[in-house]
Structure 1
Amino acid sequence: MDTRFLESFVQVVELGSVAAAARQLDLTPTAVSLRLRALEADVGTALVKRVGRTMMPTAAGSKALRQAKLLLAEVRNFNSLASNTELPAGPLTLGATPSVVKGMLPGMLRKWLGKYEDTKILIEPAASTVLYQRLLQGELDAAILVHPLFELPKTVLWKPLRKEPLILLAPARLQGEDPFSILRKYPFIRYDRRVVAGKMADDYLKLHGVYPEPWLELDGLDYISDLVKADLGVSVVPDWSYGNQYDPGLIRHRLPAPVPTRNLGIMWLRSNVREKLIHAFLALAD
């Protein structure tokens, strides 16, 4: 069985269309359709079906999907181990939050290219909760994400990279004002309480008896920053700036202690075939 056929099957099911799978695999839709037909001919049954505009797995396809992913992972592991160097072959599939992709990651990737230019890294941006689940399912080798608010299972390894205390983000014109007074007087943009730092911010404000009236609640630190810069409100967010490169139109107010801290780090599963690559990448963060 050709593993490229399995890869096409998995992509079609996960992306919901032949066209999307073709874009992901850098193939034509016709080529992906031919691969699917060849795979179905091999196994002797239909694996996908069209439901409206979406491609869905059949009953047989649903049962085969997990095994297909495991087979593809094993092939990838085999290819990594068949290396002529002390490091396993790539690519290293690395998940990262959007703020990491924009902030911390470019410098680390620049160092990686200078030292391991022949070893590819695949970057997959997503929210921390999504990255954590994808890591547990074996879809990522490692992920740079926010430590969750619960104890990690023993199968997961964690290396802290950065601590980000909560701050009050406000327009520069509010320089020098008391942060709690600002929060009580100005429109409030709430950082999404479904993410770790958003919940931290909500709990912190309640603890100090500060109940701003939010007119907007959203995820995305860069989006919040843009809205604050446009003088549409203030927000309590983690101090995610890198190299102190905040826009001069913004001011970071320190909040009264004790201030919660968002912990950013890299996470991976024990006994990962590409663990030496992960350690090599980690060394570039020092």
Structure 2
Amino acid sequence: METAYLQSFLLVVECGSMSEAARRLDLTPAAVAQQIRTLERELKAPLLARAGRTVQPTEAGHQLVQRARGVLREVSDIKALLGSEAAGGELQIGTINTALHSVLPDILAHFVKAHPGVKVFLQSGATATLHKAVQQGELDAAVCLYPNFALSKTFGWSLLREEPLVLLAPSRLARRDPHELLRTSPLIRYDRNLGGGKQADRYLRTAGIVPQERFELSSLLAIAMMVNRGLGVSIVPDIASPLLDGLLVAKIALPLGSEARRFGILWLRSSPRLRLIQGLVASANAVTSPVPARS
């Protein structure tokens, strides 16, 4: 069975259109239709059915969709292990939203320049979800926070950045005492389900501050924009994002010490794509403050 035909089938299902899939593959619709008919003959089952102007998978087609992605992934793993992807290959990378809005675009720009033939697929999520996906082989690597437990020796980890907590406040309040601002201004909370939000909550408790809560959300950039609009203040990790440039927001150091949020790249040391992962880590260290990798 031609794996290229399986890829065409999956693309047709994704597009809902044979002509659109053909356009993306730079083939004629007749060529794509021929590939699908070949698959149907080999599998002895109809895979697609017309529904108005679109095509949808049949019951057999749905079953093939579930299996085909895994088959293609296994084939790609075999190629990577045998070294036949020296000029190309693919990486499935998970990322927390903060990295997407800060260092990851620069890391990827460096990486694709060094590895122009590599396809990169990105998936965003929380650290716990990404850690599990890397562990189960669903992701090759993740740009995420260091988990709140010790990593086993099966994982590699490269620290990219440490971010202490700071108080975000409107620029006009930059010279005010941070604890006074936290007691007297509305608080825009960083989501307490996330690592940085939990750290901020611990800081408030340690400082004995009962804030006037106004909002609670998970986007650091949205928090910064709300602070910029004068809607309140917030305790957040000190992220480095170009998207904050131009906002009238001050980062004020906090009087009490606090643990820094640590994020970096996580991967399995036994990954068949280790060569590409190491390239990603090298690119990350080239565009951030280099920190030695632990693997």
**1:195-274 equivalence runs, <5 A:** 195-242=194-241, 246-247=245-246, 249-274=248-273
Q: What SS does the corresponding residue of 2:89 show, helix, strand or coil?
A: coil
1:237 partner SS = strand
| Separation in structure 1 between the aligned mates of residue 184 and residue 274 of structure 2, nearest angstrom | 50
Q: Rg: which structure is higher?
A: 2
Contact 1:204–1:260 (Cα < 8 Å) also in 2: no
Alignment partner of 2:88: what SS? coil
The C-alpha deviation readout for 1:105-136, integer Å capped at 9, x for no partner, is: 2332333344x243324141412333323323
Whole-angstrom CA distance in 2 between matches of 1:192 and 1:250: 20
- TM-fit CA distance, 1:5: 5.8
Q: SS state of the match for residue 75, structure 2?
A: helix
Assess, with a 3 A threshold, how the Cα gap between structure 1 residues 154 and 10 changes in structure 2: closer, same or farther. Answer: farther
The 1:198/1:48 distance shift into structure 2, 3 A limit, reads: farther
Summarize the Cα distance change of 1:281–1:202 in structure 2 as closer, same or farther, 3 Å threshold. Answer: same
Look up the match of 2:72.
72
User: Where in structure 2 are there 5+ consecutive unaligned residues?
Assistant: 50-55, 291-295
Q: How far does residue 18 in structure 1 lie from its aligned partner after superposition?
A: 4.3
Instruction: Work out the percentage of aligned pairs sharing the same amino acid.
Output: 35
Unaligned runs of 5+ in 1: 50-54
Matched, 1:120 2:95: no
> RMSD of the TM alignment (CA)?
4.0
Q: Distance in 1 between matches of 2:9 and 2:68?
A: 8
What amino acid maps onto 1:72 in structure 2?
A: L
1:158 corresponds in structure 2 to 157
**Does the 8 A contact of 1:187 with 1:214 survive in 2?**
yes
Instruction: Identify if the C-alpha distance between structure 1 residues 7 and 119 changes in structure 2 by more than 3 Å, giving closer, same or farther.
Output: closer
Aligned residue number for residue 134 of structure 2: 135
TM-score with structure 2 setting the length: 0.75
The AA in structure 1 aligned to 2:74 is E
Compared CA separation, residues 82 and 89, structure 1 to 2 (3 A) = farther
- What one-letter code is carried by the residue in structure 1 that aligns with 2:118? K
1:243 and 1:37, CA in 2 relative to 1: closer, same or farther beyond 3 A? same
Letter in 2 for 1:278: I
Partner amino acid for 1:212? Answer: P
Summarize the Cα distance change of 1:206–1:43 in structure 2 as closer, same or farther, 3 Å threshold: farther
Do the aligned partners of residues 233 and 72 (structure 1) sit closer, same or farther apart at CA in structure 2, a change above 3 Å counting?
same
Q: 1: distance between equivalents of 2:198 and 2:46?
A: 45
Matches of residues 17-32 of structure 1 in structure 2 within 5 Å?
A: 18=16, 26=24
Provide Cα deviations, 1:147-166, integer angstroms capped at 9, x if missing partner: 12123344322111110111
Asked if 2 retains the 8 angstrom alpha-carbon contact of 1:238 and 1:262, the reply is yes
Q: Structure 1 residues 213 and 120 mapped into 2: Cα distance closer, same or farther (>3 Å)?
A: same
Distance in 2 (alpha carbons) for counterparts of 1:164 and 1:191: 14
Name the SS of the counterpart of 1:241 in structure 2. Answer: coil
What TM-score comes out, normalization by structure 1 length? 0.77
Alpha-carbon contact 1:81-1:89 (below 8 Å) kept: no
Equivalent position of 1:278 in the other structure: 277
